[in-house]
Chains A and B, each alone.
Chain A
Amino acid sequence: MRNVSASYDSKNLILKNVSMNVKRGTNYAIVGASGSGKSTLLKLMNGMMIPSSGVVLYNYQKPDLKNKEYKKSIAKIGYIPQTLGLVKNTSVLENVLIGALPRLSNFKSFFKMFPKEEIEKAHEVLDLVGLDTKSNRKVHMLSGGEKRRVAIARALMQKPDVLLADEIVSELDSVTAREVMDVIKDAQKKFKLTAIMIHHDMTLALEYANRVAVIQEGDKILEIGVDGDQIIDFQTGNLTQEEILEMYNEPEK
């Protein structure tokens, strides 16, 4: 994306001239304080929001839900919003199958006539996130970590090229958070995904990503490339590396 600005009310700019380039296969992390505009950034990437200026391009296409062509490719952008957006009164399996619906005709989906291979695929992704034994459970009866796994499974069910995940582990304790991150890491390897993930916590971002962008009050203040424990690339805005690491290294709870 190039020089993107965005706002909800045409008065306050939430994002100011943000540019970002995510290469295929990257494991990209976005870090920033609460309210800095991270979720907004993600919504711009899949077309849930339209930038007020600048351009977003996904596979040389502008994400725009009104565009019929784009609607086909959005089915392959796995999106896990901050609130997860699960349907609480239906089963885990049915929530996961929602990810397959864009591949199904209206008629077949109305009567829940899923082809056998889709059901098998659903069990496969549920198995991957470690929830296959609970596939008949209602979603509202799951724990917070389990709900996140369902949302991951639903996104994987989309057979995505890209996975957008908004603070998927922020509310979890650090052990569960790492478990969930490992699930995503495995899935990424298995399906060769590009991942763009928002984190609240710099430590996790550095641990799992190979590029980390830091957003502060709607500005991208720096972007770093990571390889193992090694920082290999460093593009700053106006803060030093130490200052930034200090800001986002929250004490372990």
Chain B
Amino acid sequence: MNQKNNLVIGAIIAIVVVMSYDVGVDPIAFVEGLPNLGIVLKEMTEFESEHWGTAFWAMLETIEMAFIGTILGVVISLPISIFAARNISNKYVYGPLRALLAATRTFPSILWAILFVIVVGLGPFAGILAITLYTIGFISKLQYESIEAIDYDPVEATTAIGLSKIQLIRYVIIPESAPHLLSQILYMFDYNVRQTSILGIVGAGGIGFYIINYIKFFEYGKAAVFMLVVLVTVLAIDWASVKIRDRYIMKAQHGQQVKPMKN
């Protein structure tokens, strides 16, 4: 038993070493480069405070983009997920649809952003389209999986009452699969804010545009202002979604508010 485990661990280490050599991992370069990191970090602490305002507006634009993209994506995902669920839909519909959804998830949103910049030109609209598409790919998958996992008993009972398919979806499938939706949306929004923060790199709007440009011209002090704003915002959103989740989702699932145990 143990010997077998050791063998597996040894093999994994060997593979990592061989692969690192193959792609040119260079620990010496890392150590030699460390002082550079020090310089960057030092320059980053020299905030140029006149940029706070710009950073704030750029962040606001980023959040707006992420929000629009998330909402659009979710709205489009809902009908798609019903057509993609194996227990409701027909295999000639869900087969191709699932393949298409998988394709949208294959590439990170920044690649979609490049594509949409080509289609609709530079600016936030391209970014919103990229975020929307990525959200569709993700939320549809999460949703059709929760639809496939719903309790079969109410489906059977209501079929015996003689409900039509549309009625079944409206009164059984959607309410039974919805409790996870809010938490999925929160997670997606959180994720989309981070993604949108870098879309500016390819000219698709948002705060990333400033960060990449200041870094390109070695103006780390300016870049740092923008990065700090991203950091604080993402942490705040993270904190807020935990709060919302506790308040609404736990309550919805267990019929009461979760309170820490006192002893």
Q: Which A residues fall within an 8 A CB radius of B?
A: 46-48, 65, 71-72, 74-75, 77, 79-81, 83-90, 94, 98-99, 101-102, 104, 106, 109-110, 112, 138, 140-141, 154, 158
User: Are B162 and A74 in touch, CB under 8 angstroms?
Assistant: yes
B156 at the interface (CB under 8 A from A): yes
User: Are A102 and B156 in touch, CB under 8 angstroms?
Assistant: no
Q: Residue A89 contacts which of B155, B161, B167, B179 (CB distance < 8 angstroms)? A: B179
B139-177 vs A, CB cutoff 8 Å, 1 = contact: the mask equals 000000000000101111111111110110011100110
User: Are B255 and A101 in touch, CB under 8 angstroms?
Assistant: no
Contacts of A90 in B (CB 8 A): 171, 175
User: Are A85 and B176 in touch, CB under 8 angstroms?
Assistant: no
User: Are B160 and A81 in touch, CB under 8 angstroms?
Assistant: yes
Contacts of B7 in A (CB 8 A): none
Contacts of A109 in B (CB 8 A): 166-167, 170-171
Given contacts A47-B160, A90-B175, A106-B164, 14 further A-B contacts (CB under 8 A): A48-B160, A79-B160, A81-B157, A81-B160, A85-B155, A86-B157, A89-B176, A98-B158, A98-B171, A109-B167, A110-B170, A112-B170, A138-B255, A158-B161
B252 at the interface (CB under 8 A from A): yes
B178 at the interface (CB under 8 A from A): yes
Instruction: Say which size band chain B's interface belongs to.
Output: 20 to 34
Whole-angstrom distance from the CB of B119 to the nearest CB of chain A? 35
Q: Residue B156 contacts which of A48, A104, A141 (CB distance < 8 angstroms)? A: A48
Whole-angstrom distance from the CB of A23 to the nearest CB of chain B? 23
Given contacts A85-B154, A87-B175, A89-B176, contact A46 B160 (CB under 8 A): yes
Residue in B closest to A155 when the chains form the complex, CB atoms: B161
User: Are B175 and A101 in touch, CB under 8 angstroms?
Assistant: no
- In the complex, what distance in Å separates the CA atom of A98 from the CA atom of B158? 8
User: Are B159 and A141 in touch, CB under 8 angstroms?
Assistant: no
4 closest A-B pairs by beta carbon, nearest first, are: A85-B157, A75-B162, A83-B153, A85-B153
User: Are B153 and A101 in touch, CB under 8 angstroms?
Assistant: no
- In the complex, what distance in Å separates the CA atom of A47 from the CA atom of B172? 21
Contacts of B164 in A (CB 8 A): 101, 106
Residue in B closest to A109 when the chains form the complex, CB atoms: B167
Main secondary structure of the interface of B (DSSP, over half): helix
- In the complex, what distance in Å separates the CA atom of A238 from the CA atom of B261? 60
Given contacts A106-B166, A110-B166, contact A87 B159 (CB under 8 A): no
Q: Residue B159 contacts which of A65, A72, A77 (CB distance < 8 angstroms)? A: A65
Can you list 8 contacts pairing A with B, beta carbon distance less than 8 Å?
A74-B162, A85-B154, A85-B155, A85-B156, A90-B171, A101-B161, A101-B171, A110-B167
Whole-angstrom distance from the CB of A15 to the nearest CB of chain B? 18
User: Are A74 and B172 in touch, CB under 8 angstroms?
Assistant: no
Q: Which of B154, B156, B172, B178 has the most CB of A within 10 A?
A: B154
User: Are B171 and A87 in touch, CB under 8 angstroms?
Assistant: yes
- In the complex, what distance in Å separates the CA atom of A138 from the CA atom of B156? 20
Q: Residue B176 contacts which of A74, A87, A158 (CB distance < 8 angstroms)? A: A87
Contacts of B155 in A (CB 8 A): 85
User: Are B163 and A98 in touch, CB under 8 angstroms?
Assistant: yes
Residue in B closest to A112 when the chains form the complex, CB atoms: B170
User: Are A140 and B255 in touch, CB under 8 angstroms?
Assistant: yes
User: Are A81 and B162 in touch, CB under 8 angstroms?
Assistant: no
Contacts of A140 in B (CB 8 A): 255
Whole-angstrom distance from the CB of B175 to the nearest CB of chain A? 5
Whole-angstrom distance from the CB of B22 to the nearest CB of chain A? 52
- In the complex, what distance in Å separates the CA atom of A71 from the CA atom of B255? 37
Residue in A closest to B170 when the chains form the complex, CB atoms: A110
Whole-angstrom distance from the CB of A115 to the nearest CB of chain B? 15
- In the complex, what distance in Å separates the CA atom of A95 from the CA atom of B167? 12
Residue in B closest to A65 when the chains form the complex, CB atoms: B159
Contacts of B255 in A (CB 8 A): 138, 140-141
Q: Residue A79 contacts which of B154, B157, B166, B179 (CB distance < 8 angstroms)? A: B157
Residue in A closest to B172 when the chains form the complex, CB atoms: A87
Contacts of A77 in B (CB 8 A): 160
- In the complex, what distance in Å separates the CA atom of A104 from the CA atom of B164? 10
Whole-angstrom distance from the CB of A74 to the nearest CB of chain B? 4
Contacts of B151 in A (CB 8 A): 88
User: Are A85 and B158 in touch, CB under 8 angstroms?
Assistant: yes
Given contacts A87-B175, A141-B255, contact A81 B156 (CB under 8 A): yes
- In the complex, what distance in Å separates the CA atom of A141 from the CA atom of B156? 22
Contacts of A80 in B (CB 8 A): 157
